[in-house]
Every structure is written in C-alpha cells, then in structure tokens.
Amino acid sequence: MATFVLVHGSWGGGWVWDRLRPLLEDAGHRVLTPTLTGLAERHDLSAPDVGLGVHAREVAELLESEGVVDAILVGHSYGGMVITGAAALAGDRVGRVVYVDAFAPVTGESAFTMLPWLEQAFAESPGPAAWEVAPLDPGLLGADDEGAAWLSSRMTPMARFTHEEPLGPGSEEVLVGRPVTYIYCADQALFTDIAAAAEKRGFHVLALPKITHVGLLTNPHILERELLKLVG
C-alpha cells in the first residue's frame, strides 16, 4: 500500500481531489488531501503573510503527524510549488514527487516569475481584501460550462503572497536521486515551458494529449491510471 498526498492548486481545497481520491483508495492505497491554510473551509485563516513557506511547512508537518514514510507527493498547479518546498522539509518521509500540470521551481523562483502573465491576471482579479486575489475564470483553465459553474461555486480567494514568495535556497536539491514525474496536461498550453524545463532537469515527463489543466476533475480515471503505474 502506498500513501498518496495530493496537494491542490490556486483557489482550491482538498475537495478538488474528490473524484480521484476514491479511485486510488479503491485500489488499496492511503490518500491524504489536505486543504492549505487560507483556502476553502480554511479561508478564514487567510492573511497577507500566508504564502509558500506556510503551505510547504504544513504539508511537511502533516507527513510527520500522520507517520507517513515514502510518501508520493502529488501537486497540481500551485501545489507543485508547495510539494517542492515540503519535500525539502520532510526529507526521507518523501519517496516520490509528482507534478500534475504544475509549477516545478528551483531556488529563487516564484509562481509569478515562472509564469509572468499570471501576475497581470492576478492584478485584474482583485479579491475581497487588498492582499487577496479572486479566482480566475475556470473556463480559462480548461473547464467546460458545467465544470466552470461547479468550480466557481467552490473556489475561494487566496493571498497574493502565495504566488509572490520564492522557493527557499536549496529546496530543489532534495529531488536529486529521487524519482520525479511531471504529468503535462497537453490539451492546453498553460505549462508547456515549465514541462520543457522539467524535462531538461531530468524529470520523467509524461504528456497527456486529451487532458486540460483541470483534468483531475474531468478525467480522473486517466490520472489514476498514470499514478498507479508509479507504484507498480
């Protein structure tokens, strides 16, 4: 039995994995789907200083509190920033890292520096507080009309600092010697350059041609298949 720790992306929560989680559990695996501070049911904890560091620490602390070893850390979108930082903090508790159409940063990079257009998009989508950003239109992320309506009803604003704060020094070094997979949702070109950079770093890159950025919601069975391949 493997332990999957699934980390959501911007404006989401543990709920984004609701269609994938039972598939992995039915295959006999343990699955943890934390909601990051300041999002979803934890939105009341949002604050100007809630950023990448806070989120990376809480995922690392979850692994320790749950007694997890050899975790398969899976991060979607912004969750890729988080699992990179968490892997550095958690050390041997992490066995494999999987990026799903996600940021895969190196030291000094933030979500904004990796996708510069995103900073302008955030500026045009202010949240209820001056330091927050409201969810972008899910249609821009590859959701159809029905999916976009469902996502819009669940997504919450989040602190802008999450995308401003860079990855700390040496955090990516923990990935050296560990198996790392990058799953690129190729039906949409949001993370094309990041996937290419991941391949240059020696990550195993898997392109899924018929899946958009929100494939974990629209095509959970395909993601389940690829994740289960990683555990044999």
Residue tagged active-site, from 10, 46, 65, 77:
77
Q: List, in order, residues 6 or more apart from 163 with CB less than 8 Å away.
A: 10, 78, 110, 111, 112, 118, 119, 122, 133
Question: With contact defined as beta carbons under 8 Å apart, do 1 and 30 qualify?
Answer: yes
Length of the chain: 232
Is 77 a residue of the active site?
yes
Residue positions annotated with a catalytic role: 77
